[in-house]
Structure 1
Amino acid sequence: MTIKLTGTTALATLLALPFGGAATAQELTLLSDSSADTVALMEALTDAYTEKHPEVTFSIETRPGGSEGDNVVKTRLATGEMADIFQYNSGALVQALRPGRTMLPINDIENFDAMLDSFTRTVSDAEGNVYGVPIEAAMGGGIFYHIPTYEELGLEVPLTWDQFMENNRTIAEQSDVVPIAQTYRDSWTSQLFVLGDFFNVLQQEPGFAEAYTANEAKYADTPAARQGFERLQEVAEADFFNDDFGAASYEDGLRMIATGEAAHYPVLTFAIGALNQAYPDRMDDIGFFAQPGNEADSNGLTVWMPAALYISRTTDHPEIARDFLNFAASEEACDINTRVNGAQGPYLVEGCTLPDDVPQPVADMLPYFQEEGRTAPALEYLSPVKGPTLEQLTVEVGTGIRDAQSAAELYDADVAKQAKQLGLPNW
């Protein structure tokens, strides 16, 4: 007898099928990055799902972050050894995985229409198939700062890059606090001064993303785009970093900004979850601001879409996996995220809300979303092109091995390879 299963009914039927007089136990594998906040969220979501469906359990595996983790995901997809469900970036990086070949679309899940279009278009293909469900809040790329240090030195939140540099000079001259924490042991963190500057790029070159995708603009010969590399070089040459920045980890950076060892730490706001877990009593000491640009009246935030959950095309449990992603796209899942990692920013599922009392860095971030014209998507959501070696190049600039112009030129060459692999026209 052949049984055809569809949608949520399929899951209920599947779990009710007899196996020795009881429902068949199903264990799914889930691959997550290894950060503490992500793992805690994956454990909480899978536990909540298993509570609803006791016959379904999950085995959670972890992978590194950054380019090393990218390679793990690409290799496991290419060899057919990917977990049933995996957590990964949205935007250009997921396009490089060729989702139409490696993942199952989820357009038919019940909660599909609850996901905001601003997210689903970053995890879709040219045919309109959508592959991912957001598991976190929208993020900003900017700079965490230590509020007590600012208060003690009489500093104001900078709206321009010149003001930011002057604050750093004051901190270096008048305190024992490190002006800027850098954590190159986790090389992905080295990219923020480049990637977080994209709002400022668009203020000067509104058409850059389109021209960049069409191979009509480059980082090296576009001053507004090259400026992110130059700003990284500037803060490095000013000797504003912690002495151990080459060996320091992301967790070290979080500790430094929470305890006041450092006055600034440039990183994505998903770090709010990890900060809230590790330093819940220090959250009122941590503020956040967008990476400043050239003009105070055009100050705004570069925004990242959250990571997503995807289903491997090789899974043996497609219906259960789809139902789990449907659960992840629910108000209940958002509430679980808030409970586990605290409020981190606006959610991208309709009906999801934030508590009235949010951590200080979230309170600092929300006005950018609430005021017209003060946010712009990161380049990887406007273009499918992102070179995989950026974090190695920014480490080299930050350590003084390479200057900004050379790094921009090498990044352009890296981008060209990626664009050709994607088959983009005019490359």
Structure 2
Amino acid sequence: MNTSLRMLGAALTGLAMAALTSCASGSGTSADGTVTLSFLVGSDESTVDAAKALADAFMRAEPRIKIKTEVVPGGGEGDNVVKTRLSTGDMTDVFWYNSGSLLRALHPSRTLVDLTGDPVLSRVKKDYLPVVSVDGRAYGVPATAATGGGILYNRKVYERLGLKVPRTWAEFMANNDKIKAAGTTPLIATFKDTWTSQLLVLGDYHNVQAAVPSFARDYTAGRARFATTPAASAGFHHLAQVHAEGHLNKGFGSATNDQGLKMLIEGRGAHYAMLGLTLPPLLAAHPQAATDIGFFGIPGDDPARHGATVWEPPAIYIAKSTEHLAEAKKFLAFVASPPAAEAVTKVVPPSGPYRVEGAELPDDAPQVAKDLQAYLDRGAATPALEFLSPVKGPSLEQITVAVGSGLTPPAQGAAQYDRDVEKQAKQLGLPGW
């Protein structure tokens, strides 16, 4: 699947095509002065549920403004719908879309309402604003909560074996040795769903930036490569090492993401390199996962720099073609508020903290969310590279499957990815490549 993990997140819970308040996309003003805003969202279940919660809560607070929501497919198909409708001036008033580097492809200065300095953004966390900004101009507000990309772990296994959360890769491997000796699978891999093979590389970006602060900028400009930057190639070497030392589950090549999560929840595996957002959809069937499963960032070499890589939440934007700008801004201001976060939490358990001032995690939030909150609170978190650079080669998941299966040496895999990235950067017309 040649898409980014942000877009993959939209496919994790299936394609539940459902209308929220209406499938219509029209907007307008009725005879009684009621204004209707049209709202486009993707079709995965958690997005549909969150968007409905936001719309319903807003309409209770602002009865003069109605929200009609249009649901489109997720992934690449929905991405094309957004780009086409923006380019033709046929976009809904407001819409749900990725944050990060993919935003640049929408040509926001031409297609979106610039919110820089607007009170709409007053409650948005300042460290979130860069992922909804292009050329210093801000365009969106966070739609949901952040999520971590790193190691999900079974806290019951850790408690039983007397293990501590590792702060270095050596400590992580030592934990794996003890887990294996106790008869439990140390690290779950699910390479049938090839996108899952990327996490030990992509989730390691906090360590890359800690070692090479200019990496994202130099990488985008064609001055840095994975194969020639030891901190960046470390993820490929880690992927090869866990396979070589026999830490993976049997049948990892044919295992699916759903099977891996179940294995983790049941304690048959201790660790799973994964996005935290995969867990909340399973809580209804496996409520114990809310407390039994924790999260830690992929450890690097320096315990003092231990932190986590964050996948920032998608955002809600206003199309420049809207005829109801004041009402659209009211909706976005509501979305970026604690009451909106509370409304979403009731239907979609958060996998991380909200990126809105005053929006606190509830006491019964999943442990993975609390663990990620701790990283953010102490300033030990870094957005994933794909939020900082538009360059992501489409073949990474095939390369990481081969490296993680022992078929390709890690240095060769990193070099293959550099060649894959170069092709994509040239297609994007980036200078320096």
| TM-score, normalised relative to structure 1 | 0.81
Q: Secondary structure at the match of 1:200?
A: helix
The 5 A counterparts of 1:339-418 are 339-372=346-379, 374-418=380-424
Instruction: Give aligned pairs, total.
Output: 402
The 1:284/1:104 distance shift into structure 2, 3 A limit, reads: same
Letter in 2 for 1:377: P
The 1:426/1:282 distance shift into structure 2, 3 A limit, reads: closer
CA contact (8 A) 1:15 1:23 kept: no
CA contact (8 A) 1:29 1:83 kept: no
Letter in 2 for 1:213: T
Q: What corresponds to 1:291 in structure 2?
A: 298
CA distance in 2, matches of 1:230, 1:207: 22
Q: What corresponds to 1:17 in structure 2?
A: 30
Q: CA deviation at 1:99?
A: 3.2
Q: CA deviation at 1:33?
A: 5.2
1:345-391 per-position Cα deviation (integer Å, ceiling 9, x unaligned): 3322222223345433333333322335x333332344343333333
Q: CA deviation at 1:146?
A: 0.6
Q: CA deviation at 1:287?
A: 1.7
Question: Does 2:38 match 1:28?
Answer: yes
CA contact (8 A) 1:80 1:314 kept: no
CA distance in 2, matches of 1:86, 1:206: 33
Q: What corresponds to 2:14 in structure 1?
A: none
Q: What corresponds to 2:207 in structure 1?
A: 200
The 1:108/1:216 distance shift into structure 2, 3 A limit, reads: closer
Q: Secondary structure at the match of 1:30?
A: strand
CA contact (8 A) 1:32 1:86 kept: no
Q: What corresponds to 2:151 in structure 1?
A: 143
CA distance in 2, matches of 1:138, 1:336: 16
CA distance in 1, matches of 2:258, 2:394: 23
The 1:53/1:293 distance shift into structure 2, 3 A limit, reads: same
Q: CA deviation at 1:222?
A: 1.2
1:271-290 per-position Cα deviation (integer Å, ceiling 9, x unaligned): 45334444323322112211
Q: Secondary structure at the match of 2:122?
A: helix
CA contact (8 A) 2:140 2:315 kept: yes
Question: Does 2:85 match 1:80?
Answer: yes
CA contact (8 A) 2:353 2:370 kept: no
Q: What corresponds to 1:218 in structure 2?
A: 225
Q: Secondary structure at the match of 1:234?
A: helix
Answer with 179-188 or 190-199: which moved more. 179-188
Q: What corresponds to 1:306 in structure 2?
A: 313
The 5 A counterparts of 1:16-415 are 17-18=30-31, 22=32, 26=36, 28-32=38-42, 34=44, 36-51=45-60, 52-53=62-63, 56-61=66-71, 63-64=73-74, 69=75, 71-80=76-85, 84=92, 85-107=94-116, 110-126=119-135, 128-175=136-183, 177-312=184-319, 321-372=328-379, 374-415=380-421
CA contact (8 A) 2:290 2:367 kept: yes
The 1:308/1:300 distance shift into structure 2, 3 A limit, reads: same
CA distance in 1, matches of 2:235, 2:337: 37
1:383-418 per-position Cα deviation (integer Å, ceiling 9, x unaligned): 343333333332333344433223322322333344
Answer with 79-88 or 279-288: which moved more. 79-88
1:96-149 per-position Cα deviation (integer Å, ceiling 9, x unaligned): 4433355444448642222123212211221x4322221223333211111111
The 1:108/1:201 distance shift into structure 2, 3 A limit, reads: closer
CA distance in 2, matches of 1:74, 1:129: 22
Q: Secondary structure at the match of 1:172?
A: helix
Identity across matched positions, percent: 42
- Structure 1 vs Structure 2 CA RMSD: 3.1
Letter in 1 for 2:30: L
1:162-195 per-position Cα deviation (integer Å, ceiling 9, x unaligned): 22223223323322x3322233444433221011
The 1:30/1:109 distance shift into structure 2, 3 A limit, reads: farther
Q: Secondary structure at the match of 1:72?
A: helix
CA distance in 1, matches of 2:39, 2:303: 48
Q: CA deviation at 1:314?
A: 6.4
| TM-score, normalised relative to structure 2 | 0.80
CA contact (8 A) 1:390 1:411 kept: yes
Q: CA deviation at 1:292?
A: 1.0
CA distance in 2, matches of 1:219, 1:421: 19
Q: Secondary structure at the match of 1:145?
A: strand
Q: Secondary structure at the match of 2:210?
A: helix
Letter in 2 for 1:155: L
CA distance in 2, matches of 1:269, 1:317: 36
